[in-house]
Structure formats: structure tokens, C-alpha cells
């Protein structure tokens, strides 16, 4: 049986209430100030409650928020790179300030969770944007979202009473306690995690398989939480992952599960969060490629790799695997990277994510050197169905 890596911070958090205790809290929660949780907050609730965001047991209190914003550490010194916060609707500020707990609801009214009111604080959103996103430009989707929400934050422990509706992805959700058990059963001691919000193209496949040469198993863990409007929809992407796994990967060496987090597009800082999350799932290694979690030109191509230099291997726990930009080289007649290919760019098949999305939406097929034909078919058909349904 394999041994799994320790969770970040040493303890796998579980904030899910069940049985009689859950019933009691549901009854009490009906009397608390409440509001409808945003898609980002719903994703954060799941990630905190199931231990994906261990060691967090709730939304950041002011002391932790400031430490994370300015030093990429919790007040305790534990590495944490992204503020996980709960904005309070302005109109409820007084009511929340006078209460011990609040309740968060789903859009249809179901109570999802209760939050203890431990810290209520005003933040400087421009300073948060500058530190976390390295820009105050409202064209950045993470900054735009930050500016649109309330600047009054509530920090405190959470208890999850009902899981948000998992919809069509329910079969792909596994909590860290489950993935760790699965890795142990498979005898995987070394597991590499891969994060993506895009379809898997040939370059992704190349670096995943290069990593798989050195470990026992690959944890393909695509993000299905909130993304920006022009990203490929999650349901279409999930079909594309299944197709490529079915045709091009060894089934006994890959485990496929959905990552419920929302995208922040925080580039380097988000790469750290993504690595910590996969450590909590039980991964020992994590792939960091070019422009991880980036958007536009806000971050340098390899900034998401350089940020790992700020932390020791002991305090981070999981081992990052850094890969150069990969591509198909016509002269090499195969996949390569700038580390391994001696030929000039005229021989390289490289397409930007933006260019590929435009081609797919237009029903155009990217070259087979860029993406597997089976994957392209799924994407074009899926996007066509989406546009016809609108």
C-alpha cells in the first residue's frame, strides 16, 4: 500500500456537518442574517469544508488576510498565497455586525453553510489588487471581480450543511480524503497533479507524460468552478478530457477528477494555491508550465515557476515540476521544447489559447500537431451545440 504525503499544515480539514448536529445547525441557521453566495464563494465553501484548502477552516480573519496579502503567509507563518475571503453585502453590514453567525444560501434558497462572525473588516481593494494580481487594471478579470464586490470582509470558521449543487459533474467530484484513499489503494507513492482550465492539447499531453515517466500516477484535475466568459465551457472541456484519456493514456496510471475551485487568474500566486490544493488531494508533485493561471500579458511567461523560489521545500511540501513551453517541431518530427529542440521557430507549430478558441468557435480545425483530432471534434461539436441553444 502506498503512503500519501501529509496535508499542507499537517491536518486535513473537515468542516462538513452531518446527522443530528447538522439538523440542529440548519434549524438555528434559519434565524441568522443570510445572503446568496456568489459562484466564487460557493466554490470556496467546498474547498474549505472538504480540506482542499487545508489548513484553512474558514474565511480569512483580518490578521491572516493582511499577512497573506503582503507576505504570502498566514499570520502563523504557514505558506498561503491567495486571500480566501467573504465579502459582506453593504446593506447587511449592520445586521452582520450584531450577529454571532451568518448563513450562506444557494440561489434557490437552500442553506449551504454557516459562518462564525469572528472578524469584520474593511479592506483596500486597490492594494489587494496590486499585491495579489500585480495590477490594478480593471481589464484583468480577477481585478474586475474584486472591484465589483463589497470591500467589507467577514472572517471566521465555517460549517458546511449542504453541498452546492454539483450538477452534471457530480460523478467527477472526489474529496481529498477519497483521493488519498484511492492513491493508497493503487499503491501510488509518487503522484503528479495537473491543473487546467483549458482542453488538453498536445503540449499538455507531452509534459504530463514526461512527468508520468518519473512517478507512479497522474492526477488529472481540471478546474470546473467559475471562469471568465470566453474560456471553453466546463461541460465541453470535460468531454474532451474523457476522449483524450480514453484514446491516449494508460487507464491504470491516471486518475481523473474535477477541481471545484474558481479561477482567480492570479498567475504566480495562484500557482502556489493550485500546488497546495493538489498536495491536500495527496499529490507529491505538481506540474507548472508556462504562464500558469495567467491571463493577458500581466505576468511573465515563467513567473509562476520563479515564485516557488520564495519558499523552502519543507514549508511547501509538494514538489513542483517546471516545464518549458512545448510544441510540435516539424524538423524533429515530434513534440519538443526550447530545452530539447535546436530548430528555429519557423518549424514549430504554436498557437495561442485565444487563437485556438477563435478557431474552435468558428468551427475551424487546429492542425493535428497542435491537438488530437478526437479532442477537436468534441470541442467543435460542443461549442456548436452551445451556440445553437442560445
Spatial separation of the C-alpha atoms in residues 55 and 218, rounded to whole Å: 24
- CA torsion 196→198→204→205, rounded to 10°? 100
Domain end marker among 140, 167, 194: 167
43 and 187 belong to one structural domain: no
For the segment 242-264, the average pLDDT, to the nearest whole number, is: 96
133 and 200 belong to one structural domain: no
* Domain at 101, CATH number: 3.10.400.10
114 and 182 belong to one structural domain: no
123 and 229 belong to one structural domain: no
Domain end marker among 112, 144, 167: 167
251 and 150 belong to one structural domain: no
Residue 6 lies in a domain: no
161 and 203 belong to one structural domain: no
Q: Is pLDDT above 80 for 318?
A: yes
319 and 176 belong to one structural domain: yes
Any idea which residue has 493535428 for its cell?
A: 368
223 and 365 belong to one structural domain: yes
264 and 136 belong to one structural domain: no
Identify the domain containing residue 383 by its residue range.
171-389
61 and 132 belong to one structural domain: yes
**What's the maximum distance between 2 C-alpha atoms anywhere in the chain?**
69
Spatial separation of the C-alpha atoms in residues 374 and 379, rounded to whole Å: 9
Over residues 160-188, the pLDDT tens digits come to: 999 998 888 899 999 999 999 999 999 99
Q: How many residues does the chain have?
A: 390
Q: CB–CB of 279/190 below 8 Å?
A: no
Residues annotated as catalytic are 197-198
**Residue 41 to residues 21, 27, 29, 182: CA-CA distances in angstroms?**
23, 22, 18, 28
pLDDT at site 17: 98
Neighbour count for residue 165 (Cβ, 10 Å)? 12
pTM of structure: 0.95
**Residue 289 to residues 313, 316, 337: CA-CA distances in angstroms?**
19, 18, 11
Q: Is pLDDT above 70 for 203?
A: yes
Over residues 12-70, the pLDDT tens digits come to: 999 999 999 999 999 999 999 999 999 999 999 999 999 999 999 999 999 999 999 99
Q: CB–CB of 276/79 below 8 Å?
A: yes
138 and 248 belong to one structural domain: no
* Domain at 274, CATH number: 3.40.50.620
Spatial separation of the C-alpha atoms in residues 267 and 299, rounded to whole Å: 7
355 and 248 belong to one structural domain: yes
Domain end marker among 167, 186, 210: 167
> Cα dihedral sign for 4, 6, 8, 11?
positive
Q: Number of structural domains, the chain?
A: 2
Amino acid at each position: 500500500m502506498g503512503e500519501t504525503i501529509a496535508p499542507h499544515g499537517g491536518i486535513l480539514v473537515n468542516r462538513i456537518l452531518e446527522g443530528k448536529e447538522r439538523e440542529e445547525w440548519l434549524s438555528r441557521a434559519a434565524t441568522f442574517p443570510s445572503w446568496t453566495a456568489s459562484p466564487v464563494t460557493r466554490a470556496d465553501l467546498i474547498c474549505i469544508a472538504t480540506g482542499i484548502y487545508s489548513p484553512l477552516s474558514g474565511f480569512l480573519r483580518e490578521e491572516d488576510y493582511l499577512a497573506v496579502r503582503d507576505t504570502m503567509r498566514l499570520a502563523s507563518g504557514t505558506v498561503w498565497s491567495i486571500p480566501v475571503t467573504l465579502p459582506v453585502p453593504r446593506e447587511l453590514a449592520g445586521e452582520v455586525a450584531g450577529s454571532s453567525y451568518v448563513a450562506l444560501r444557494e440561489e434557490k434558497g437552500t442553506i449551504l453553510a454557516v459562518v462564525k462572525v469572528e472578524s469584520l473588516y474593511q479592506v483596500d481593494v486597490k492594494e489587494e489588487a496590486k499585491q495579489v494580481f500585480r495590477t490594478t487594471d480593471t481589464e484583468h478579470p480577477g481585478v474586475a471581480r474584486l472591484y465589483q464586490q463589497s470591500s467589507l470582509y467577514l472572517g471566521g470558521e465555517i460549517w458546511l450543511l449542504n453541498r452546492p449543487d454539483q450538477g452534471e459533474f457530480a460523478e467527477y467530484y472526489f474529496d481529498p480524503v477519497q483521493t488519498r484513499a484511492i492513491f493508497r489503494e493503487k499503491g501510488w507513492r509518487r503522484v503528479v497533479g495537473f491543473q487546467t482550465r483549458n482542453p488538453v492539447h498536445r503540449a499538455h499531453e507531452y509534459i504530463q507524460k514526461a512527468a508520468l515517466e518519473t512517478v507512479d500516477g497522474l492526477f488529472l484535475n481540471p478546474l470546473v468552478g467559475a471562469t471568465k466568459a470566453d474560456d471553453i465551457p466546463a461541460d465541453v472541456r470535460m468531454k474532451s478530457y474523457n476522449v483524450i484519456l480514453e484514446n491516449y493514456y494508460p487507464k491504470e496510471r491516471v486518475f481523473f477528477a474535477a477541481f471545484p475551485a474558481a479561477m482567480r487568474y492570479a498567475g504566480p500566486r495562484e500557482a502556489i494555491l493550485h500546488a497546495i490544493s493538489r498536495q491536500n488531494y495527496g499529490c507529491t508533485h505538481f506540474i507548472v508550465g508556462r504562464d500558469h493561471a495567467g491571463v493577458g500579458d500581466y505576468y511573465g511567461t515563467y513567473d509562476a515557476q520563479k515564485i516557488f523560489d520564495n519558499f523552502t521545500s519543507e514549508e511547501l511540501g509538494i514538489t513542483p515540476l517546471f516545464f518549458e513551453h512545448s510544441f510540435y517541431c516539424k524538423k524533429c518530427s515530434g513534440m519538443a521544447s526550447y530545452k530539447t529542440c535546436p530548430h528555429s521557430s519557423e518549424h514549430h507549430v504554436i498557437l495561442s489559447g485565444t487563437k485556438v478558441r477563435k478557431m474552435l468557435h468558428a468551427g475551424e480545425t487546429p492542425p493535428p500537431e497542435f491537438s488530437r483530432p478526437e479532442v477537436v471534434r468534441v470541442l467543435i461539436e460542443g461549442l456548436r451545440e452551445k451556440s445553437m441553444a442560445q
